Amino acid sequence: MGTRLKDKVAIVTGAGTSGEGMGNGKATAMLFAREGASIVAVDLNLDAAQQTVHAIEAEGGRVIAIAADVSRSEDVRAIVDQTVTRFGRIDVIHNNVGIEIAGDPVSTTEEDWDRVHAVNLKSVFMMCKYAIPHMEARGGAIINVSSVASIRWSPVPYFSYHTSKAALNHMTRVIARQYAAKKIRCNVILLGMMDTPHIRTYYRDLPSDEVAKIMRQRDAHCPMGRQGTAWDAAHAALFLASDEVQYITGAEVVVDGGLTL
pTM score above 0.85:
yes
CA 209/CA 214 separation, integer angstroms:
9
Query: What DSSP assignment string belongs to 114-138?
Result: HHHHIIIIIHHHHHHHHHHHHHTTT
Written as one letter, the residue type at 2 is G
Domain boundaries, the chain: 9-192+229-255, 197-227
In contact, 38 and 63? CB cutoff 8 Å: yes
Q: To which H or E segment does residue 47 belong?
A: helix 46-58
CA 16/CA 27 separation, integer angstroms:
9
Q: Over the stretch 239-259, which tens digit does the pLDDT of each residue have? A: 999 999 999 999 999 999 999
By the 10 Å C-beta count (0-12 exposed, 13-18 middle, 19+ buried), 23 is classed as buried
**Active site amino acids:** 161
Computed over every residue of the chain, the mean pLDDT equals: 96
Residues paired with 92 in a beta bridge: 10, 141
Q: At 28, is the pLDDT very low, low, confident or very high (cuts 50, 70, 90)?
A: very high
Q: How many other β-carbons are positioned within 10 Å of the β-carbon of residue 39? A: 30
Determine the Cα angle at 178 with ends 177 and 179, to 5°.
95
State the distance between the two ends of the chain, measured CA to CA, in whole angstroms.
36
Residues paired with 220 in a beta bridge: none
Q: Please tell us whether the domain made up of 9-192+229-255 is placed in CATH 3.40.50.720.
A: yes
Q: Over the stretch 193-223, which tens digit does the pLDDT of each residue have? A: 999 988 888 888 889 899 999 999 999 999 9
Q: What is the pLDDT of residue 199?
A: 84
CA 38/CA 47 separation, integer angstroms:
19
Q: What are phi and psi of 145, to 5 degrees?
A: -110, 115
Q: At 183, is the pLDDT very low, low, confident or very high (cuts 50, 70, 90)?
A: very high
Q: What is the pLDDT of residue 156?
A: 87
